[in-house]
């Protein structure tokens, strides 16, 4: 017996920003909705370029770029309330900026300063999870607490395509399904897990198919189409908040950058492949769409770029002007009470100064 499931991908805009699927959501003509989305994507990209430059000039430890993936985080976060909880990976700055985490905090984080994970803004949000997929289980815990407290909130957990191969991910979607938890797993399918392409990662037809075995809703969306991304996230988060269960939302995109500044992607993929994906750029697509509707023009574009450059510089200054933490603070957040075995090490670090 053969059983098959089909997951279409939601898409409204083609690569020129022309509408290919209707009806559009009502808000798709509303400049007050679209411009902040566009602005945050542009800011995220400007930040990204600056962060890479800081790393290349020895002013940042390492950095994972979100180039080309900006729509996913920004559009999803735009649907969240302050009481929802974000559990990000290391490539979701767009979502974090939308929610109030600052560029300076992200720079501190990649500069190796723990204070960069102590967000002044969204206090309930989780820090960046570099361990792959472990935070999917934390998202289940967060959502379980929301359900227990009968709160109409959602936990939103971002993972990569590679993360969906981890046991933590399967355990998380299984538990989310059986307990019908208010959680959305946004799978950022950027086609690569460092040097491993999705085709070598799974035999599943799509990553959305993984929802079937967990008994949860599955959806695919063009993650470089900001409108489609916002609409799909709206439905998934609304379902979570209103007791209609979890969703696995597979957002299709492409990792335009190296995996991190410690990687050289030209060793395992061709320039032609990367170039082909430039056409899909989420920022260009939304801009062309807004221009075609008379919602955006060159003068506003220039103004935004100037303001963004200033903002990024100001945040870089905050980062560079922050005195480095004392070396012994590396022990501060390891345990509630530091085990005795670490006392000597901590003391040695203090004395070495
Ligand atoms: C538990 C764990 N195992 C291995 C790694 C090393 N590692 C860092 S990133 C990565 C690939 C992740 O790929 P994906 O989930 O697709 O996310 P992307 O980097 O593409 O955003 C791996 C294996 C890690 N950080 N954590
Ligand atoms: Mg990936």
Q: What is the pLDDT of residues 283-331, one digit of tens each?
A: 999 999 999 999 999 999 999 999 999 999 999 999 999 999 999 998 9
In this structure, is residue 304 part of a structural domain? yes
Task: Name the closest ligand to CA 132.
Answer: 1
189 CA from centroid of ligand 2 (Å):
6
pLDDT of residue 105: 98
One domain, residues 138 and 195: yes
CA–CA dist 20, 24 (Å, integer): 10
One domain, residues 349 and 259: no
Phi and psi at 20, nearest 5°, equal -115, -5
CA–CA dist 173, 136 (Å, integer): 8
One domain, residues 351 and 251: no
pLDDT in tens, 151-192: 999 999 999 999 999 999 999 999 999 999 999 999 999 999
One domain, residues 304 and 335: no
Tell me whether residue 38 is one of the annotated catalytic residues: no
One domain, residues 288 and 347: no
Task: Name the closest ligand to CA 163.
Answer: 1
Give the domain CATH number at 180: 3.40.50.970
**Mean pLDDT value of segment 236-250:** 98
Q: How many CA atoms lie within 13 A of 123 on its CB side?
A: 1
One domain, residues 60 and 159: yes
pLDDT of residue 334: 85
pLDDT level of residue 3 (50, 70, 90 thresholds): confident
DSSP H or E run through 288: helix 282-292
In this structure, is residue 222 part of a structural domain? yes
Q: Above 80 in pLDDT, residue 11? A: yes
In this structure, is residue 281 part of a structural domain? yes
CA–CA dist 213, 231 (Å, integer): 25
Tell me whether residue 333 is one of the annotated catalytic residues: no
pLDDT in tens, 82-117: 999 999 999 999 999 999 999 999 999 999 999 999
Single pTM value for the model: 0.97
One domain, residues 272 and 332: no
One domain, residues 290 and 346: no
Beta strand 217-222 pairing with 247-252: parallel
In this structure, is residue 54 part of a structural domain? yes
pLDDT of residue 205: 96
Domain that holds residue 231: 9-322
Q: Which two tokens stand for residue 204?
A: 């599943």
pLDDT of residue 4: 87
Closest CA to 53 of 313, 310, 318: 313
Q: Above 80 in pLDDT, residue 349? A: yes
Q: Above 90 in pLDDT, residue 135? A: yes
Q: Which two tokens stand for residue 177?
A: 């399904």
Those residues whose C-beta lies under 8 Å from the C-beta of residue 174, and which sit 6 or more positions away, are: 213, 214
Q: Which residues pair with 183 in a beta bridge?
A: 155
**Mean pLDDT value of segment 215-239:** 98
Burial track 55-89 (b if 16+ CB lie within 10 A, e otherwise): beeeebeebbbbbbbbbbbbbbbbbbeeebbbbbb
CA–CA dist 124, 110 (Å, integer): 21
Q: What's the number of domains the chain is made of?
A: 2
One domain, residues 333 and 218: no
Ligand 1 probe mutation, 93, 188, 193, most atoms within 8 A of CB: 193
In this structure, is residue 201 part of a structural domain? yes
One domain, residues 197 and 332: no
Tell me whether residue 268 is one of the annotated catalytic residues: yes
Rg (CA), the chain: 21
pLDDT of residue 197: 98
CA–CA dist 67, 219 (Å, integer): 23
Q: Which residues pair with 220 in a beta bridge?
A: 9, 250
One domain, residues 186 and 305: yes
Q: Which two tokens stand for residue 222?
A: 């063009």
One domain, residues 219 and 334: no
In this structure, is residue 116 part of a structural domain? yes
């Amino acid at each position: 017996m053969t059983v098959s499931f089909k997951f279409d991908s939601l898409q409204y805009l083609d690569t020129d920003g022309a509408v290919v699927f209707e009806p559009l959501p009502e808000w798709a003509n509303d400049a007050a909705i679209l411009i902040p989305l566009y602005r945050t994507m542009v800011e995220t990209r400007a930040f990204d370029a600056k962060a890479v430059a800081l790393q290349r000039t020895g002013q940042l430890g390492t950095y994972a770029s979100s180039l080309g993936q900006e729509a996913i985080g920004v559009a999803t976060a735009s649907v969240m309330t302050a009481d929802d909880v974000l559990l990000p990976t290391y490539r979701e700055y767009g979502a974090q900026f939308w929610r109030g985490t600052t560029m300076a905090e992200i720079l501190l984080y990649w500069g190796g300063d723990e204070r960069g994970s102590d967000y002044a803004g969204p206090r309930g949000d989780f820090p960046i999870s570099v361990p792959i997929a472990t935070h999917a289980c934390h998202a289940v815990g967060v959502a379980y607490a929301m359900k227990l407290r009968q709160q109409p909130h959602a936990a939103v957990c971002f993972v990569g395509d590679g993360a969906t191969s981890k046991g933590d991910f399967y355990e998380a979607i299984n538990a989310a399904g059986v307990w019908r938890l208010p959680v959305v797993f946004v799978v950022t399918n950027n086609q690569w897990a460092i040097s491993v392409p999705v085709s070598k990662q799974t035999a599943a037809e799509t990553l959305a198919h993984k929802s079937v075995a967990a008994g949860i809703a599955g959806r695919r969306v063009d993650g470089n189409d900001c409108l489609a991304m916002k609409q799909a996230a709206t439905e998934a988060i609304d379902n979570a908040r209103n007791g209609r269960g979890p969703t696995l939302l597979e957002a299709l995109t492409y990792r335009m950058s190296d995996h991190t500044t410690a990687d050289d992607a030209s060793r395992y993929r061709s320039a032609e492949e990367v170039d082909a994906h430039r056409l899909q750029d989420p920022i260009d697509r939304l801009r062309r769409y807004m221009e075609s509707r008379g919602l955006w023009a060159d003068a506003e574009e220039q103004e935004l770029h100037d303001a963004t450059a200033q903002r990024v510089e100001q945040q870089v200054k905050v980062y560079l002007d922050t005195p480095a933490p004392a070396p012994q603070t590396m022990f501060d957040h390891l345990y509630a009470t530091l085990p005795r075995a670490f006392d000597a090490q901590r003391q040695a670090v203090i004395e070495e100064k």
